[in-house]
Amino acid sequence: MEIREIKNDLLGEKYYKIKHTSGLDIYVFPKENYSTAYAVFGTKYGSIDTVFKKANDETFTEIPEGIAHFLEHKLFESEELDAFERFAKTGASANAYTSFDKTCYLFSCSGNFKQNLDILLDFVRHPYFTQQTVEKEQGIIGQEIRMYRDVPDWRVLFNLLCAMYKNHPVRIDIAGTEESISHITADLLYKCYETFYNLNNMALAVAGNVTVEEVIESADRLLTEDENIEIDRKFFDEEKEVVTDYVEEKLSVASPIFSLGFKETWPTPERTLKEELLGNIILEAIAGNTSDLYKELIEKELINPTFSTEYFTGYGYSSMIFSGESQNPKETSRIIKEKISQFKKGGIEKEDFERARKKLYGREIMSYNDVDELANNLIAAAFMNEGLFDEFEMLKSLTCEEANEFLAKILDERYSSLSVILPA
255 pLDDT band, cuts 50/70/90, is very high
pLDDT at position 82 = 87
| CB-based burial label for 232 (10 Å; 0-12, 13-18, 19+) | exposed
Mean model confidence pLDDT for the chain: 95
pLDDT at position 266 = 87
CATH number at residue 116: 3.30.830.10
> Are residues 222 and 326 part of one domain?
no
Q: pLDDT (tens digit, 9 = 90+) per residue, 335-370?
A: 999 999 999 999 999 999 999 999 999 999 999 999
> Are residues 298 and 201 part of one domain?
no
Q: How many domains, in total, are found in the chain? A: 2
> Are residues 287 and 393 part of one domain?
yes
pLDDT at position 123 = 95
Query: What value does the mean pLDDT take over residues 267-287?
Result: 94
> Are residues 229 and 122 part of one domain?
yes
- Is residue 72 among the annotated active site residues? yes
**Entry pTM:** 0.93
> Are residues 289 and 392 part of one domain?
yes
Residue 168's φ and ψ, nearest 5 degrees, are: -65, 135
- Catalytic-labelled residue, pool 2, 5, 72, 85: 72
Residue 80 or residue 28, greater confidence: 28
Domain stops at, among 233, 256, 272 = 233
* Contact status, residue 92 vs residue 29, Cβ threshold 8 Å: no
269 pLDDT band, cuts 50/70/90, is confident
> Are residues 287 and 144 part of one domain?
no
Q: Is residue 408 part of a domain?
A: yes
Q: Which domain holds residue 14?
A: 2-233
